[in-house]
Structure 1
Amino acid sequence: MRTACFVDGYNVFYGLVAGTRYKWLNLPALLKHIIRVEQPDTELKAISFFTSGVKPSLASRGNLSKEAQDTYLRALIAQGVTVHYGRHQLEPRCAPRFVNKETPPSRLDQVPIWKLEKKETDVHIAISMYRLAARQAQLPAAERIQQLVLVSADTDLTPALRAIQEDFPDLRLGVILPHREGMKRTLPGSLRNTAHWMRQVVTEEELASNQFPDRVPTQKRPALKPSYW
């Protein structure tokens, strides 16, 4: 079954590897493994990775964080992953003051904050999935993608999956939740209801066994695993 994956990079980072020693994740290898467990006859033909660039001024390690992200993306690209870039938007806002969990938020007691939002990623994923689905009818049967897999837990993408399900019923849909083993996460039921199958947890063993070598060859200089990863 010829398969294309669409990966929400933000979800993958914070759901699977943030705060762990598994940041140098060989994502293509991990996805091939998971998909073949779920669908043994699968052939992974394409991976699209959607992300936004790190803002050094807000990152815990400043420019080092941006350099680490850039290096990792070069490693992915060297493995045939197509990377799509969105952007971050930082704006001043007001939000209700947090007192404690027992005190409900009040619009009458607000404090100024900086609000950081990722822009264009969700819409880009949705449009890319739908456009790929629409193109398949124009291809010879032997070349058509037969399955789309979303790697995200973002329920904002549910309408896109539902539209693909309704308009292209011959396409199989899968969802891989980037939820690391041992972390308590809410199961996004709306995504589950629009997919033929869902992988709910990625185990620590799977993360550990699907890491890049410290040095990944690229067309230019090699991508070297960041020292603090």
Structure 2
Amino acid sequence: MRTAFFVDGYNLFYGLLAGTPYKWLDLRSLLTHITFIENPQSSIVSIDYFTSPIKPQLATRGRVSKEAQDAYIRALRASKVAVHFGRHQLEPAKAPRFVDKNTHASRQDKVDIWKLEEKETDVHIAISMYRTACQQVLFAMEERVEQLVLVSSDTDITPALRAIRADFPHLIVGVILPHRAGLNRPTPGSLKDHSHWLRRVITAEELLLNQFPNRVPTHKKPAIKPDYW
């Protein structure tokens, strides 16, 4: 089954990889493993990875965090993963003041904050999935994608899944939630309702067994795993 993947990089990082020693993830290898379990006849046609460039001034490690992201992007591209960038938007905003866990938020007691949002990623994923479904009529039957798989737990993409299921009933739609085993996170019902199958968790063993080598050859200088990863 010819399969195209659409990966929400921000969701993948914070849902699955942050705080673990598995950030140097070989995404193609992991997705090959998971889809083989779901259907041994699956084959990867494409992997599209959507993210936004880190703002060094807001990152935990500053410029080092940006360099780590750059190295990982180069490793992904070397493994034939297409990378698409959105953007981060930083703007002043107001939010309810935090007093303590026992005090409810109040709209009458707000403080000034900086609000950081990732922009364009959700829409880009949704449009890319739908366009991929539309474009299959341009190919010979043996070259057509038969399955679209979303790697995200973001329910903002639900309308795209619903539309694809309605307009292209011959396509299989799968969802892989970037959730670590043992965290007991709830399954987004809307993603489950509009997919043919859904993978709920990814184990630490699967992450461990699907890592890039510390040094990944590229067309230019190699991508080297960051020391603190």
What SS is found at the alignment partner of 1:30?
helix
What SS is found at the alignment partner of 1:205?
helix
What SS is found at the alignment partner of 2:59?
coil
Q: Distance in 1 between matches of 2:7 and 2:172?
A: 17
After the TM superposition, which residues 75-86 of structure 1 pair with which residues of structure 2 at under 5 Å, given as runs?
Answer: 75-86=75-86
Summarize deviations over 1:144-186 as a string: whole Å, max 9, x none: 0000000000000000000000000000000000001122322
Equivalent in the alignment of 1:212 = 212
Question: 2:227 corresponds to which letter in structure 1?
Answer: S
Q: Deviation of residue 39 (structure 1)?
A: 1.3
Q: Distance in 2 between matches of 1:8 and 1:110?
A: 32
Equivalent in the alignment of 1:134 = 134
Equivalent in the alignment of 1:197 = 197
Q: Distance in 1 between matches of 2:211 and 2:185?
A: 24
Q: Distance in 2 between matches of 1:182 and 1:14?
A: 15
Question: 1:31 corresponds to which letter in structure 2?
Answer: L
Q: Deviation of residue 101 (structure 1)?
A: 2.6
Question: 182-191 or 121-130: which moved more?
Answer: 182-191
| Residue 49 of structure 2 is aligned to residue 44 of structure 1 | no
Question: 169-178 or 31-40: which moved more?
Answer: 31-40
Question: 2:57 corresponds to which letter in structure 1?
Answer: S
Q: Deviation of residue 59 (structure 1)?
A: 0.5
Q: Deviation of residue 104 (structure 1)?
A: 1.6
Summarize deviations over 1:114-135 as a string: whole Å, max 9, x none: 1100000000000000000000
Q: Deviation of residue 107 (structure 1)?
A: 0.6
| Residue 110 of structure 2 is aligned to residue 117 of structure 1 | no
Give the alignment's TM-score, normalised by structure 1. 0.99
Q: Distance in 2 between matches of 1:133 and 1:102?
A: 49
What SS is found at the alignment partner of 2:132?
helix
Change in 2 beyond 3 A, CA 1:113/1:184: farther
Q: Distance in 2 between matches of 1:159 and 1:90?
A: 27
Give the alignment's TM-score, normalised by structure 2. 0.99
Summarize deviations over 1:7-39 as a string: whole Å, max 9, x none: 000011011111110010001100000011111
Equivalent in the alignment of 2:87 = 87
Q: Distance in 2 between matches of 1:222 and 1:166?
A: 44
What SS is found at the alignment partner of 1:57?
helix
Q: Distance in 2 between matches of 1:111 and 1:39?
A: 51
Question: 1:139 corresponds to which letter in structure 2?
Answer: F
Question: 101-110 or 168-177: which moved more?
Answer: 101-110
Q: Distance in 2 between matches of 1:30 and 1:225?
A: 18
Equivalent in the alignment of 1:68 = 68
| Residue 152 of structure 2 is aligned to residue 155 of structure 1 | no
Question: 1:188 corresponds to which letter in structure 2?
Answer: P
Q: Distance in 2 between matches of 1:195 and 1:54?
A: 31
Q: Distance in 2 between matches of 1:48 and 1:139?
A: 19
Q: Distance in 2 between matches of 1:16 and 1:44?
A: 22
Equivalent in the alignment of 2:173 = 173
Equivalent in the alignment of 1:12 = 12
Q: Deviation of residue 113 (structure 1)?
A: 0.7
Q: Distance in 2 between matches of 1:63 and 1:102?
A: 38
**Structure 2 segments unaligned to the other structure (5+ residues):** none
Q: Distance in 1 between matches of 2:182 and 2:91?
A: 34
Q: What percent identity do the matched residue pairs reach?
A: 65
